[in-house]
Structure 1
Amino acid sequence: MAGCREPGEYRAPLRPGDFDGPGTWRWLCLEHVREHNARYNFFAGMTPDEIEAAQSPIPGWAPHSRAFAGVGADPGPAWSDFKDPLDAISARFRPGGIGRRESRFSGEERHALGVLGLREDTDLHAVRRRYSQLVRRYHPDRNGGDRSHERQLGEVLAAWQKLKAARAFA
């Protein structure tokens, strides 16, 4: 800026829209670059159509284009026969590799979740809360001594024992 004695260490564009190529820049001190940034408007002087064009993605880079389509039937590349002991890359190129998700629970643990009426995306806090609700519902002391729910109570207790020891919650 004219009359400023501070060193110009920060680059600022000379004109909005001057970004087709290397650009024209001016060098400003920290105080003046802050002023410049506060009043800078890239879209100043543009028509609505020009603003929309500037905000639109470059053709071919839109996320819905074929280049970004996830196609599970794609053949593996020529280099896909390498050793991949952690299966980090080669799983994508096997049939059913994409979208297949391993459960973090064993079969017995999934059954225990079903007993409690919970899904696999639950956490231990939710399991504990649901266990407490069901114990209060089925316990004879809460039902006037009625023991008709003993079987359900036993299943809930067994499910809790199985889930609190599950490796998924370790």
Structure 2
Amino acid sequence: MASDPFSTRRFNRFHGRVEGDGRPCAVDGCAEAGEFRAPPPEGPASHAEGPRWRWLCLDHVREFNSGYNFFTGMSPDEIEAAQRPFAGWERETRAFAANGTTPPPKWQDFSDPIDAIGARFKERMREAQARADAKPLSTDDRKALKTLGLTIDADRKALRQRYTELARRYHPDHNGGDRTHEKALQEVISAYTHLRKAPAFA
């Protein structure tokens, strides 16, 4: 029988579960134990107030994490600073002990039940990338830009130019009647029709 991945403190410290306090889940109507901490709806406390958390059950902390965006409320400059390759390295950290007694974790022992660093990480990073002019981009906007081969900072003029270029490239009238590119042409038309009505291109 496989061992319970939550059965030892060694594993618990890696996935964030805190057992044994008998606290209930903070979601109204939930009778499960609150064993995973999350920031409160109003946001984290200031340094002067100290840390402030609410405790959730596994299902509700998963739900919280699926909608959490680290970059919410940041300006484009703050997002760019947080995404720098060496962000955080300028802060002083404690020295590692040369003869520490705690062995490093083995990857085969690692458990990630709340998907903290799972598949949604890359998606969140893409969602967080902002335009230089701070105009909003929806997921559909980003998909349409990708279809047209445009960057997220493209303007209305670039959008029209790219649409004209691709429409001519794929239209049968410009390919001797060849209709093999009809699907690509329809995707280009659909992407352009969507983007010209999007707030970022208003």
TM-score, normalising length from structure 2? 0.37
Greater Rg, structure 1 or structure 2?
A: 1
TM-score, normalising length from structure 1? 0.43
